[in-house]
Amino acid sequence: IASKDAGFPTQEYLGVNVVMDGPAAETMTRGALDTLATRFTSSMETLRQRLEVEPGVAGVTFTSALPQDYHAERRLSVESMPDSALFWVSTARIDPSYFTVLQSPIIQGRAFTSGDLSPDARVVIVDQGFANLVMPGRNVIGQRVRISMTTKVDSNCAELPWYEIVGLVKELGMATALERPPTAGVYMPYVPGSRTALNMIVRGRGDPLPIGPRVRDLAAAVEPALRIEQ
């Protein structure tokens, strides 16, 4: 696990699992859940701003799943390949700064922008594993895909929205370090205020481990309910 290449210099980064303490989700109304999600993402953005000015920090970004950790698997179909079976893909929701902080420039197309951060955004970025496994030999930019939000095949698959592939990146740990088969990765923009789980990645200027205690201190100062799990 320690020797598996994640696609970026992992020794420069600190992965942070963050949660916000509060009532159990099953006891909360939809409105209360939405309010809590908005409060959480606002607190995380404030924490990012506080961290970015720390002398030992070179960059901060967010993702629903940390590289080499478990990523939600979804079923995907390609508009230009109607006769193909549905493909399994690993998915993550990310902040537009994700690839910049991981020092992984876009290979083809573009990165996400602030204009993509809305519930109605219908764009995705795929990795080289996707290009190799799902659409070998084809140009992925501009292709449209449908993504099931569950692991089951949706009976209303034809009613799902189309997402346009706007960018291609190299593989960046879209599967756990224990998984050996190649993985097709799909990134979607993280929409502020959504209930998606959110993790933080901090790039250090040198060894990132000494930043850990400072992350905990700043999180508590920004929002007492923020808790660093790992």
Q: pLDDT per residue over 17-62, tens digit each?
A: 998 887 777 788 888 888 888 899 999 999 999 999 999 999 999 9
pLDDT at 176: 84
> What DSSP string runs through 148-190?
-SSSSPPTTGGGSPPEEEEEEE-----S-TT--S---EEEEEP
- The average pLDDT across 203-225 equals 94
pLDDT in tens, 152-163: 555 566 789 999
Q: Confidence class of residue 150 from pLDDT cuts 50, 70 and 90?
A: low
Q: Confidence class of residue 178 from pLDDT cuts 50, 70 and 90?
A: confident
Q: Which of 99-103, 136-140, 174-178, 185-189 has the lowest mean pLDDT?
A: 174-178
Ramachandran angles phi, psi of 98, nearest 5°: -55, -55
Rounded to whole angstroms, the Cα distance separating 28 from 26 reads 6
pLDDT in tens, 82-98: 998 899 999 999 999 99
pTM of the model: 0.92
Mean model confidence pLDDT for the chain = 91
Tokens of 101: 């902080």
Asked if 132 and 151 touch (Cβ cutoff 8 Å), the reply is no
pLDDT of 181 higher than 70: yes
Rounded to whole angstroms, the Cα distance separating 42 from 48 reads 10
pLDDT at 24: 75
